[in-house]
Structure 1
């Protein structure tokens, strides 16, 4: 068994955390921003230093490859992203990139024999923080392999015209042209050139820590749905209209949300999660009774039958009158549970066992580029423990030891895939 370097990992974490440093312990590093370009140049510099060949595709995904003993063998790729959410942490996404770099550095440094070329990869715009949607470029690259209902959201032309959330005028396509990282479509990830896919990531939740485990052997990304619940009432003056006659859409939405929590909790599924994260209120004036209120509803679980039960409760809101207001329930999008390749999952589990690293099987509740890649290639993921389960915030933290363990597990799992195939 081989182990990665604690010292090299520490140096990478310290270095990459400077690119987009927000001054509060975290980063803001939007895709294709000057800060992201600094991270990409650092990736290029370090990978070229070990003799890797750099390729960049037409949507700025970067590939650094070292050769294997068989020049005709397909590549094994390890990937994640270097962009962040606003005021995010130093580990989400970039840990997967640093882990892939560390695998290549370890293979070169220790002269580890391997048959297949090994590739460390950066996906562009996974977060979608500046240019929606999330997982934009994995959606573009894997487009032909995605289910129809997902595919329709990642048309190349539409993605190039995605507008910045900051100014609503500049587009992703314009940022791509200006970045200096628009390459050639021929370099895209494909099943013709690549054998399988690995992605290391922080857990972004508390399950590993709560169970006293360092590494998560991920078996799937949970299925989910996202709906909008829209409530229609009547705007009146806040000071002159009697309470019994009001049709307050905000109050109606509050009643419905409490109903959803009560009824869904009665189902009794401990692993089920659901969230209301985005709201719209009109006219959103303190002297006006709201005539319109709209909230998102996101629910996630492995079993589609469980999600069907939740969805039935959500849809039932449209059959009721809430504080005198009507309700409309509209689908935004959904996805089925994506299961990782069982042989690759087994290699990850074997690698953790043989290295003597505490581990457990775990689901991913969050979406990742790997789930789109899995429609194209055999794929799997490795999770590293997150302190207090925090992510997408500046206190996000994973210990140096855990980060290095994650890279070591991936290294040995990759070597198993190299030797045994998929």
Structure 2
């Protein structure tokens, strides 16, 4: 068994946290921003230093490859992203990149024999924080393999036309052209050139920490649905219209949301998670009764039958009148549970056992580029413990010890795959 270097990992964490440093412990590093380009250049510099070959595809995904003893063998890729959400942390996404780098650095430093070429990869625009949608470029690269309803959201032309959410003055395609990282389509991840994919990531939740485990052996990405509930009332003056005659869409939405929580909780599924994360209010003026209110509803669970029960409750809101307002329920999108390749999951578990690292099976509630790649290649993930379960915020933290353990587990799992 081989062990990665905590000193090298600590140095990478310290270095990459400077690119987009927001000044209070975290980063804002939008895809293809000057800060992201700094991170990309550092990745390339370090990978070239160990003799890796650099390739960049047409949507700026970067591939750094160490040759194996069988140069014509398909590559094994380890990948994640280097972009962040606004005021995010120093581990989400980038830990997977640093872990892939650490695997290659360990292989090079210790001259570990391997047959397949080994590739560390940066996916472009996983977060979609500046140019939506999330997982944009894995959606583009894996387009032909995605389920039809997902594929429709990742047409190349539409992605190039995606506008900046800051001011709409620049498209992703324009940012790509200006970045200096627009390469050649022939370098894209594909089954013709690649055999397996691994992705290491922070857990982004408290389960590992609560259970006293360092590493998560991830078995799937949870199925989910996202719907919009839209309430229609009547705008009137806030100070002159009698309360009994009002049709307040905000009030209607609040009553419906409380109803959803009460009815869904009655189902009694402890692993079910759901939330309302985005709202729209019109006219959103403090002297006006709202005539329109719209909220998102996101639910996630492994079992599609559970999600069907939840969805029946959500759709039932359209059959009721809420504070005199009507309700429409519209589907935004959904996905089925994506299960990782069982053989690769077994390699991860065996590597953790042999290294003596505490671990457990765990689901991923969040989406990752790996889930799109899994439609194209056998794929799996490794989770590293997150302190207090925090992520997508500046206090996000995973210790250098846990980060190094995650990289070591991936290294040894990759070597098991290589030795087949």
Fold shared by both chains (TM-score > 0.5) = yes
Match of 1:322 in 2: 322
> Residue 71 of structure 1: CA displacement?
1.0
**Aligned residue for 2:291?**
291
- Matches of 1:87 and 1:280 in 2, distance apart? 23
Report the aligned-residue RMSD: 0.3
The residue number in structure 1 matching 2:413 is 413
CA distance in 2, matches of 1:374, 1:34: 30
Name the TM-score, length of structure 2 as normaliser: 1.00
SS at match of 1:363: strand
- The corresponding residue for 1:205 is 205
What is the aligned partner in structure 2 of residue 226 from structure 1?
226
Matched position secondary structure for 1:413 = helix
The TM-score, its normalising length taken from structure 1, stands at 0.99
Q: How many angstroms apart in 2 are the aligned matches of 1:126 and 1:228?
A: 23
> Structure 1 residue 391 and structure 2 residue 402: aligned?
no
| Alignment partner, residue 270 of structure 1 | 270
How far 1:187 moved relative to its partner?
0.2
Please give the alpha-carbon distance, in whole angstroms, between the structure 2 residues aligned to 1:281 and 1:168.
21
2:68 is paired with a residue whose SS is coil
Q: Distance in 1 between matches of 2:419 and 2:377?
A: 18
Counterpart of 2:150 in structure 1 is 150
3-state SS in 2 of match to 1:280: strand
How far apart, CA to CA, are the structure 2 residues paired with 1:250 and 1:270? 29
Distance across 1 between alignment mates of 2:341 and 2:212: 26
The answer as to 2:316 corresponding to 1:308 is no
CA distance in structure 1 between the partners assigned to 2:155 and 2:248 by the alignment: 39
Q: Could you report, residue by residue, the CA deviation over 1:352-383 in whole angstroms, capped at 9, with x for unpaired residues?
A: 00000000000000000000000000000000
Equivalent in the alignment of 1:70: 70
The C-alpha deviation readout for 1:254-304, integer Å capped at 9, x for no partner, is: 000000000000000000000000000000000000000000000000000
Q: Work out the CA distance in 2 between the residues paired with 1:203 and 1:71.
A: 35
Report the Cα distance in structure 1 between the residues aligned to 2:220 and 2:202, rounded to whole angstroms.
Answer: 15
Q: Structure 2: where are the runs of 5+ without partners?
A: none
- Supply the distance in 2 between the matched residues of 1:282 and 1:104 (Cα, whole angstroms): 53
Q: CA deviation at 1:72?
A: 1.2
> How far apart are the structure 1 equivalents of 2:35 and 2:287?
43
- Matches of 2:72 and 2:55 in 1, distance apart? 18
Match of 1:134 in 2: 134
2:152 is paired with a residue whose SS is helix
1:72-111 CA-partner distances (Å, limit 9, x unpaired): 1000000000000000000000000000000000000000
For residues 43 and 276 of structure 1, the distance between their equivalents in structure 2, rounded to whole angstroms, comes to 37
Match of 2:375 in 1: 375
Deviations 1:212-261 (A, max 9, x none): 00000000000000000000000001001000000000000000000000
SS at structure 2 position matched to 1:371: helix
Q: Distance in 1 between matches of 2:11 and 2:251?
A: 52
Q: Give CA deviations for 1:20-43 in whole Å, capped at 9, x if unaligned.
A: 000000000000000000000000
- Secondary structure in structure 1 of the residue aligned to 2:370: helix
Secondary structure of 1:259 counterpart: helix
Q: Distance in 2 between matches of 1:240 and 1:16?
A: 57
**In the TM superposition, what is the alpha-carbon distance from 1:169 to its structure 2 partner?**
2.2
Counterpart residue number, 2:117? 117
Aligned length: 420
Shift of 1:410: 0.1
Aligned to 1:347: 347
Secondary structure of residue in 2 paired with 1:154:
coil
Alpha-carbon separation, structure 2, partners of 1:364 and 1:358: 18
Superposition pairs of residues 47-86 of structure 1, within 5 angstroms:
47-86=47-86
Aligned to 1:400: 400
Distance 1:208 1:272 in 2: 17
- How many angstroms apart in 1 are the aligned matches of 2:30 and 2:169? 16
After superposition, the C-alpha distances for 1:28-63 in whole angstroms (9 at most, x for unaligned) are 000000000000000000000000000000000000
1:305-327 Cα deviation digits (max 9, x unpaired): 00000000000000000000000
Distance in structure 1 (CA, Å) of the matches to 2:114 and 2:308: 46
Which residue matches 2:2? 2
